[in-house]
Structures are given as C-alpha cells and as structure tokens.
Amino acid sequence: MLELEKKLLHVDYGVALVAGITGKYFADCNAVELKSHAANREMAKRLWDFSVSLLR
C-alpha cells in the first residue's frame, strides 16, 4: 500500500470516529480540554487586534 493511501485511510477512519462531534479540540486523535490561555477572550482580542495591525 502506498504511503498516501495509508494516510487517506487514517483520515477517513478519524473522520468516522468524530462524526457528529462539535465544539471539541483534538490532539493526537483524542478529544482534549483546551488550555486556559486558549479560551482567554482578552488574549484572543489582543491577538486579533495585533493581527489586524500587521495587515494595515
């Protein structure tokens, strides 16, 4: 089996496992809790504002 075929089968299997699951973060094919800084709205706004400033 070609490497690409192996990867596509892995992706297809992974999609089937999480079908219908929303609002979760996955790492290494497992649902995990977000780190506190990833859910920090103030930090998200600061990052957004900084990103916008780079585009001006």
Is the sign of the CA dihedral 6, 9, 27, 51 positive or negative? positive
Domain that holds residue 13: 3-55
**Contact status, residue 54 vs residue 39, Cβ threshold 8 Å:** no
**Contact status, residue 18 vs residue 10, Cβ threshold 8 Å:** no
Choice among 18-22, 23-27, 38-42 with the minimum mean pLDDT: 18-22
Q: For the CA atoms of the chain, what is the radius of gyration?
A: 17
More confident site: 56 or 24: 56
Span 6-29, average pLDDT = 66
Question: Among all chains, which residue has been given the structure tokens 């990052």?
Answer: 47
Among 29, 36, 37, which residue's Cα sits nearest to residue 13?
Answer: 29
- pTM of the entire predicted model: 0.47
How many domains, in total, are found in the chain? 1
